[in-house]
Every structure is written in structure tokens, then in C-alpha cells.
Homo-oligomer: A and B are copies of this chain.
Amino acid sequence: MKSFEINQAWGGTEKCLKCPIRNLALFADLQQADFNLLHQPINEFSFEAGESLYTEKGTAKFVYTIRSGMIKLVRYLPNGSYRIIRLLRKGDLAGIETLNGSTYLHHAITLQKTEVCRIPVEEIEALNSNTPHLYKQLTVQWQKSQNDADIWLSELTVGTSKQRIANLLLYLANNSSEEDSFYLPSRDDIGALLAITTETASRIVAEFKRQSLLHTEHQVAQINKPELMLIIKAGN
């Protein structure tokens, strides 16, 4: 594991209060006094692309808030293939299922350089018992991930492969941190996201590039949104 701890250990209070993404994250509603309830340190980690935060059925001790970058939640299927269940970005929570169980339900793997805050589950449980301020954000996060799953199911599993990829590109562009570019997943991952083969994903991505609907430089991508939206509608 190449990940490293950015700050050795700190109480949390000072830094969480000043955190640039606090309004997006789990602790949005916590107040000064609430932070004093924290006993264990909340550490900040930086992961390179392709690293694993945790694995399915692994013992679950931490929840992660994503500060920057992108994470895929992966399930491996009995036949050896894998499916990407969801993509997580800035402000999202990973591993929150551990509040009701002792193991993680997915593999969490970074797609890019990703910075996270690692919160011990026990601290979440303690906060929940002692302050009413965390509960609201937990339900907001829950709802966000549920809604994401719904969009995935309703929009990214219908239509031809071309329509699905066009939809995915628009989704990625609309949810990117950058204004006009976004991270383009590998063809393998596009396949695992949309339940199509790597080859089909590659063919269509290459075709979009030839048609100048998509420009890439390494994994940084830009798209022609209006044209892709037409493809989703018309399907040609």
C-alpha cells in the first residue's frame, strides 16, 4: 500500500471545523461542543490510483469521507467478473454500511489520486448516542447514495450500449469537480459500470473520439454535451 497519512494524528476539532468540504460531508451539522465528544483521531489519507481502501467482507472499523478524487465500489461475481456498483466523489461517504454490520459490502478502490478522512465507526456511534446533530447528515448521505443507485438502475441500464455510454459520459461530466473536464474510466471499468464487454466499450469510445464527441488526453476527458444528448434520445 502506497497510501500515506497526511497528518500523524490530530484531535479533529480545529481541522474539521475549518475543513473546506465540511458543508458537504458527514460533520456538516456538528457544533463546536460535538467535536469534543471525539476520542480517537480522525486521520487524513492520500491514496494513489488503483489502491484499495477496504475489501468486501473485511472487518469494518472505519468510515471514509472523500475529500477529492474518485472511488469505485466493486462487487466480484461468482464467475470471476466484476461489477461497479457506484462511483463516489467529493463529499460522499464510503463504508457507511458498517453502522449496521461488522463487514464491508464492497471493495472500495481508488480510480485517481484520492484524499479521504478516515473516521472510526465507534466515533460515529458515540456521536450518534450523544448528539442529535449527526443523524440528519447520515440520512442525507443515505438518501444521496440511494438516489445514485436509482439513477444507475433507471438510466444506465437501458438503451443500446451507445446510449448507455453517452449517458455515462454525461453523468461523469455533470458530477466532475472540474468545470469542463472529467476523469474517463478505463474501458474495463466502463464495461463493469454498464454491464457490457470491454470490447464494446472500447469500440464506442473510439467511435465517439473519431466523431469528436469526446476528446481525451490520458484520462482527462471533455465531451460535446448537446450531441451526446441527441444520441441518447435518437440512439444512432
Question: Footprint of B on A, CB under 8 Å?
Answer: 75, 77-79, 81, 83, 85, 97, 99-101, 105-106, 128-129, 132, 135, 138-140, 142-143, 145-147, 149-150, 152-155, 157-158, 195, 233
Contact = CB atoms under 8 A, between A and B. Distances in A.
Nearest to A79: B233
B143 A97 contact: yes
A157 B140 CA distance: 27
A83 B153 contact: yes
The DSSP consensus for interface residues of chain A is helix
Contact of A158 (B128, B152, B195): B195
A126 B207 CA distance: 55
A105 B149 contact: no
A47 B145 CA distance: 30
B143 A85 contact: no
Contacts of A145: 146
A100 B143 contact: yes
Contacts of A78: 233
Nearest to A143: B100
B143 A101 contact: yes
A97 B147 CA distance: 9
Given A135-B128, A138-B139, A153-B85, A97 B146 contact: yes
A146 B95 CA distance: 12
Contact of A157 (B129, B138, B195): B195
Contacts of A85: 150, 153-154
Nearest to A158: B195
Contacts of A233: 78-79
A66 B93 CA distance: 29
Contact of A105 (B79, B100, B138, B147): B147
Most chain B beta carbons < 10 A, residue from A99, A101, A154, A157: A154
A118 to B, nearest CB: 20
Given A75-B150, A99-B139, 6 more contacts: A83-B158, A97-B143, A100-B140, A101-B143, A105-B147, A149-B149
